[in-house]
Amino acid sequence: MTFVAGGALKPIGGHILSHASATRMFLRKGRAEERVAKLVDSPDRPESEASYKLDEGGWADAMVLLLSSVLLPLVSLAVAGIPESRKFPDTFPAILSQYDPTPSPSKFPNGTIIPAYTGPGVDTFIREFGRHDLLSYMNKYWINQNAPNPDLWAHEFSKHATCTSTFDLQCYGSSYKKNQELINYFDATIRANHHFPTFDILAASGIVPSNKTSYTLAQFESAIAAQVGATPYLGCRSNGTVLTEVWYFNHVLGTEQYGTYKPIASTTTSSCSKTAPIWYYERSRGSERNVRK
């Protein structure tokens, strides 16, 4: 393994060590005390990166995560997040709940710029709550591509939780603990992922990833509706012929954190073709790992 530094990606030890190494990594400074390790070249791992930090107790984030958690979960679809249940906020207090290092959108409807977050990664707060179980699950199923996982989690919280009233700090009252809304949002997202296991739902109807067999929009919709009780939104690219995402629409009885889901039909028209074959492709070789051990 070769560690490299600098802007030109020149390997430490020169080209001799570079050619003798199977795996090469590039190290750079991240936010605050964090550092970022980027996998530049590997015979069996995709290019990716992850953050880590060295403190009094050793590695705060084991660098082995770079070679494991960035891979997508085998026999499972990756988590995206919980979309908002009300309009995008246009008030200044929402900035206080902004943890996205690259905000998108970058401003509120009233034109106020949303500043980039420069504090510690949100995984730090998960550890402070002692929720190593939650962090482990998120690193398996809630995967960011070509950037640290916590950046994606921060983006999803900042974009969606700030648009859901039950995550507003004033709703917590005197029992509120700093960053509790983050943990609650992540828990709620994972709860939804358990409630709607899309890969398993489709597989139960014989719909599995394939580079040889295509399906129809009606097959996808009926397979999910049969188990969920409502038709979801299916998103496709390539002129509506390649499945990329599934959204579930629900009314929630109670709070989004702990409420009961009541599935409803999608209010958004599918971007998948109603007539052409739809491909649900297999992932590329080396991009997955078994997380159900």
- pTM metric for this prediction: 0.71
The two beta strands, 260-264 and 58-59, are unpaired
pLDDT score recorded for residue 5: 42
Cα–Cα distance, 21 to 171 (Å, whole number): 54
- Interval 240-250 mean pLDDT: 94
Same domain for 187 and 120: yes
Please state the domain count of the chain.
Answer: 3
| CATH number reported for the structural domain that contains residue 249 in this entry | 3.90.730.10
Residue-number span of the structural domain to which 253 is assigned: 198-289
Same domain for 182 and 232: no
Question: Is residue 133 in a domain?
Answer: yes
Task: Quote the tokens at residue 76.
Answer: 């499972």
| C-alpha dist (Å) from residue 77 to 68, 208, 238 | 16, 11, 20
Same domain for 160 and 133: yes
Instruction: List pLDDT tens digits, range 148-201.
Output: 899 999 988 988 887 778 888 888 889 899 999 999 999 999 999 999 999 999
Same domain for 230 and 204: yes
Instruction: Please say whether the beta carbons of 65 and 121 come within 8 A.
Output: no
Same domain for 191 and 109: yes
Residue ranges of alpha helices (H) inside the chain are 14-20, 122-128, 132-141, 149-160, 180-195, 198-204, 217-228
Question: Is residue 117 in a domain?
Answer: yes
Question: Is residue 84 in a domain?
Answer: no
Task: Quote the tokens at residue 136.
Answer: 């482990």
Same domain for 141 and 202: no
Whether the per-residue pLDDT at 144 is higher than 80: the answer is: yes
Task: Quote the tokens at residue 104.
Answer: 């998108």
Instruction: Please say whether the beta carbons of 67 and 80 come within 8 A.
Output: no
Cα–Cα distance, 39 to 256 (Å, whole number): 37
- Interval 222-248 mean pLDDT: 95
Question: Is residue 79 in a domain?
Answer: no
pLDDT score recorded for residue 72: 59
Closest by alpha carbon to 154, among 141, 142, 137? 142
pLDDT score recorded for residue 85: 44
Task: Quote the tokens at residue 252.
Answer: 């929630």
Task: Quote the tokens at residue 21.
Answer: 């190494």
- Looking at 138, 167, 195, the residue that finishes a domain is 195
Question: Is residue 98 in a domain?
Answer: yes
Cα–Cα distance, 227 to 224 (Å, whole number): 6
pLDDT score recorded for residue 87: 40
Same domain for 215 and 186: no
- Interval 263-272 mean pLDDT: 95
Same domain for 217 and 188: no
Instruction: Please say whether the beta carbons of 267 and 248 come within 8 A.
Output: no
Cα–Cα distance, 253 to 249 (Å, whole number): 13
| C-alpha dist (Å) from residue 120 to 32, 127, 129, 132 | 6, 12, 15, 17
Cα–Cα distance, 261 to 251 (Å, whole number): 6
Cα–Cα distance, 229 to 38 (Å, whole number): 43
Question: Is residue 102 in a domain?
Answer: yes
Question: Is residue 221 in a domain?
Answer: yes
Same domain for 187 and 96: yes
Cα–Cα distance, 115 to 108 (Å, whole number): 11
Same domain for 275 and 191: no
Same domain for 280 and 188: no
Instruction: List pLDDT tens digits, range 8-62.
Output: 456 655 555 555 566 777 777 765 566 777 777 766 566 666 666 665 545 554 3
Same domain for 208 and 171: no
Cα–Cα distance, 65 to 72 (Å, whole number): 12
- Looking at 195, 221, 246, the residue that finishes a domain is 195
pLDDT score recorded for residue 6: 43
pLDDT score recorded for residue 77: 63
Instruction: List pLDDT tens digits, range 69-113.
Output: 445 566 566 666 665 444 433 443 445 568 888 887 787 778 888
Which residue(s) pair with 54 in the sheet? Answer: 59
Question: Is residue 81 in a domain?
Answer: no
Closest by alpha carbon to 216, among 268, 266, 280? 280
